[in-house]
Structure 1
Amino acid sequence: MNKKIALITIHGMGDTERDYYTGFYDQIKKTLGEDLWEKVIFKPLYYQDILQAQQETILGRMRDQVDWMRMRRFLLYGFSDAASLEYKKRVKNSPYYLTQKMILESMDEIFDEVGNKQIPVIVVAQSLGCQVLSSYIWDAQRIAASVGIWSMARNDDVKEGSPRDQFRRMKSLQSFYTLGANIPIFVAGHKKIDAIKPTNPDFNWINFYDKDDVLGWPLQPLSPSYEQLVEDIQINVGRGFFSKLFKSWNPLSHGQYWEDKKVIRDIANKVTEII
């Protein structure tokens, strides 16, 4: 199989459909063209199913006692996603652990598909997915991780430092694109704020944000390590006249990054450059 690069996406918070990536997929494939696209492994990550059953149960218990159900559903799904993924991170089979397990297994699938070798990786994360992937990489870079899947025995006979282990730990990640990142919400209360370390000498981190998106933030102001590692790019998100007219100037912009023309163009250029 002549695959040269893995393109991975991960969604944000809220009641997210499994096919959240469709618009992005269609646009990036069209922009690259068939010849280049044949060299790409596309892997959309999905963690909402880890959380959704319990969220539905809780919503059902409340349904007859409250009003504004559509708004409550939005808030419950969105904020409980973030809270649940930060809760009991040291416990096996917690949402934090299970989400990291899903990411690790997805990396294994890519590794197997390309014939047990490391290939360059691009990750495109949106909203809460930015924190999820950053945490996964952070934990994978710890010599002795204290939380998540890297802090526990995995019983899979994968030797530390082996090509599979390195690939799992995102050592092949060359570009990390964050769209509407809400990482500041998770770290703002800490006195010491550090970014992940570069995964390899070619690593770069591009953070797209819209100043009207109250859930998306620039990352460079967080700390010197973020300032050094991340390139913040402010954009006016949306694809097409009506999208920009009705959504780009207000909080609805948070869901518009996936099909933004500049985002698509920049990622397509990076894919082409690496291939």
Structure 2
Amino acid sequence: MPQSVAVAIVHGIGRQKEDFASAIIQQLRRRVRQQLGEDPQEAPRFFFQPVYWAPVLQNEEDELWSRLRKGGSLGWTGLREFMVDFAADAIAYQPIEGRRDAYDRVHGVFADSLRRLAQQAGPRAPLCVISHSLGTVIACNFFYDLQAHSAEKPLIAPTVRQKLGDAPLACGETLTLFYTMGSPVALWSLRYENFGKPVHVPSPKLHSHYPNLAGEWVNFYCKADVIGYPLKELNADYRVAVTSDCPVLVGGPLAFWNPLSHMAYFGDTDVLGPIAEGLVGVWQTINTAQG
């Protein structure tokens, strides 16, 4: 039986619907079919799972926006609402000493999603993570915590640990491909000495499951996107961890030249093409090795 590949898709800022990943999943399925042929129904090659964390923070943000508007007349309403979506998400998510409930609740959603993927694709399935915007920060933090957690340095809350289960995939051991789009990780790195330490891609434990499998971390950014930045030059550790910073032009005529491009990565050919190639390469490698 061929081994499937698991794909987690993490959204970013803005008001997200539960089906936020439907379009990108459909496009990736079409692209991998073009290279591999039709997907056998009895043994799907790829399983996709959205990581839909928005509801964790949305109610509080809605209440905040309601109170702010009651406070007086505001100009640039659309831009202000965007700032509430982005800044409030970012501020609320970050843990502070003595309080990390939002951080843990968001990571609990991530853990649930990976556990579902492990049930669908298999406990040892190679894992690809596709993330956008603040979702790239969440993904980096989530896997960093998994990789650095120890009895001496406990980073994972018991509630998150319980949701993960014990499948190698859910515990991050099979993380193989990591794609970040419009990532503000560079801005978050200001919180740490010398701009911090990156997550390891692939997971340090991947080769115990798939000795022949190579991983990659590709960071897509658009030069007009004021939220997304290159990552490789943050420090020596990032130069090793990030395979490539990939500049792209995303969005149509109304977006590619301005900050609206930040919301256009999921549908862009220059982004989807390399991701599909990465997925196909992983599937072929593990199933050729099995054969």
Q: Indicate whether the TM-score tops 0.5.
A: yes
Can you give the 5+ residue segments of structure 1 that lack an aligned partner in the other structure? none
CA distance in 2, matches of 1:56, 1:83: 15
Query: 1:263 deviation in Å?
Result: 1.1
- Show the counterpart of 2:248: 235
- Show the counterpart of 2:20: 20
Matches within 5 A, 1:31-42: 31-33=31-33, 35-36=38-39, 38-42=44-48
CA distance in 1, matches of 2:171, 2:97: 18
The answer to whether the aligner puts 1:197 opposite 2:200 as a matched pair is yes
Residue pair 1:15, 1:78 contacting (<8 A) in 2 also? no
- Show the counterpart of 2:137: 131
Q: What is the CA deviation profile of residues 133-184 of structure 1, one whole-angstrom value per residue up to 9, with x for unaligned ones?
A: 0000111112247575x1436684988xx5x1x3222111110000011001
CA distance in 1, matches of 2:102, 2:163: 24
CA distance in 2, matches of 1:177, 1:47: 18
Which of the numbers 65, 78, 99 marks the counterpart of 1:70? 78
CA distance in 2, matches of 1:45, 1:158: 14
CA distance in 1, matches of 2:16, 2:240: 33
Are residues 90 and 25 of structure 1, via their aligned partners in 2, closer, same or farther at CA, if it must alter by over 3 Å?
Answer: farther
Secondary structure of the structure 1 residue equivalent to 2:131? strand
Q: What is the CA deviation profile of residues 169-218 of structure 1, one whole-angstrom value per residue up to 9, with x for unaligned ones?
A: 21111100000110011112433321112313523111011111110000
Matches within 5 A, 1:116-265: 117-142=123-148, 143-144=150-151, 150-152=156-158, 156=162, 164=167, 166-192=168-194, 193-198=196-201, 199=203, 200-201=206-207, 202-230=214-242, 231-238=244-251, 243=252, 245-265=253-273
- Show the counterpart of 2:63: 57
Residues 37-46 or 75-84, more deviating: 37-46
Q: Give aligned-pair identity as a percent.
A: 23
Residue pair 1:237, 1:260 contacting (<8 A) in 2 also? yes
- Letter of the 2:108 partner, please give it: K
Can you give the 5+ residue segments of structure 2 that lack an aligned partner in the other structure? 208-213, 284-291
Which of the numbers 77, 80, 90 marks the counterpart of 2:88? 80
| Aligned length, in residue pairs | 263
